Amino acid sequence: MSLRQFEYALAVAEEGSVTAAAERLHVAQPSMSQQIRTLERELGVTLFDRTPTGLVPTVVGRAFLRDAELAVTAARRARATARAGADDLVGELVVAAQMGLGTRQLPNALGVLRRRFPRVAVTVFEEPNPADLERMARRGVLDLALMAGPCGEGRYIGHHLGDEGFLVVLAEGHPLLAADRIELRDLEREPWVRFDQDGALDSLLRNVLRDNDIAPVTVARVSQTATAVRWAAQGLGVTLVPASAVPHDHCHLARPVSPGVYQPVVAAVRPGAGPAETALLELLRRENWCRTAHPAPLA
């Protein structure tokens, strides 16, 4: 197996077509097809299924591609580090954010960081599940991760940024919107838009519902907080998300709940962090993680 084969497989997954992937990477289509077949033979698995809409990764293919992306990112980072030693380039900063954390705070902080370190190339892994986040941390791919709860002992140093409040999102015209704060027990009969079962966000929601003696009727599961908010706003069901995940144009549909729901936000930083990682941590500390309104951007 080679890094080039990994890059080819990732491109095919993104484009859904060998032809489109080859065009994007400026590679001959027969050569890319041969490399994919060779990779599948070496692995002893089928990475892609042919469907009417194009090539789709198999279950084992999706698992392989997650690790392939880590390998390609690590290689790109190593090249950037080597170039930094040769011609004083800053290099690359690799960040991950668990689903629902830092939806507004992280972009704010990265915007300021960009102005301070214009030659830093930032790669962000959005919403990896806990297993993927742990795998990236174990392999040393990440420079900083936003996560709920403690980080792996020894590999990273955890910095508690605050406890972000959660809001319930309801449909336009829902009678409960008349209140400034909604009692969780009043949501007992509501259908719920929830999240992937193996994710940290659905684990938190499951515990909240259990602690308040609510047996939820789950009408949908989604993989992103933005989707949950939109679907709740359309009346499919209610959802509970971090305050920063509610877009400004949906604020009028969101309310805090009683008893309050909060989630610790931890920035896990590699020991011996460089100036860019240190600056990003300090910028994240300046963000508001506690209130249930939208934080203002950094000046």
User: Average pLDDT for consecutive 10-residue bins of the chain (299 residues)?
Assistant: 87 89 86 90 90 87 87 73 49 83 88 89 79 73 82 75 92 95 93 87 90 92 90 95 89 94 88 86 87 42
Among 45, 52, 54, 41, residue whose Cα is nearest residue 13: 54
pLDDT of residue 88: 42
CATH 1.10.10.10 domain locations along the chain: 3-79
Is residue 111 helix, strand or coil?
helix
Largest CA distance in the chain: 63
Three-state SS letters, 155-203: CCEEEEEEEEEEEEECCCCCHHHHCCCEEHHHHCCCEEEEECCCCHHHH
| Rounded Cα distance, 95 and 126, in Å | 9
**62-80 pLDDT tens trace:** 889 888 888 887 777 666 6
| Rounded Cα distance, 121 and 130, in Å | 25
CATH 3.40.190.10 domain locations along the chain: 89-163+263-285
Whole-structure pTM over 0.75, yes or no?
no
Superfamily (CATH) of domain 89-163+263-285: Periplasmic binding protein-like II (3.40.190.10)
pLDDT of residue 154: 63
Q: How is residue 2 written in tokens? A: 């080679």
Right CATH for 3-79 from 3.30.428.10, 1.10.10.10, 1.10.3720.10, 1.10.472.10: 1.10.10.10
CATH 3.40.190.290 domain locations along the chain: 165-261
pLDDT of residue 193: 95
pLDDT of residue 51: 86
Beta bridge partners of 157: 269
| Rounded Cα distance, 244 and 248, in Å | 9
pLDDT of residue 176: 96
Distances (CA, A) of 110 to 155, 160, 241, 245, 293: 23, 18, 22, 17, 20
pLDDT of residue 260: 92
| Rounded Cα distance, 261 and 245, in Å | 14
Distances (CA, A) of 173 to 225, 237, 292: 21, 13, 21
| Rounded Cα distance, 214 and 17, in Å | 45
Fold exhibited by the domain 165-261: D-Maltodextrin-Binding Protein; domain 2 (3.40.190)
Q: Are strands 191-195 and 120-126 parallel, antiparallel or unpaired?
A: unpaired
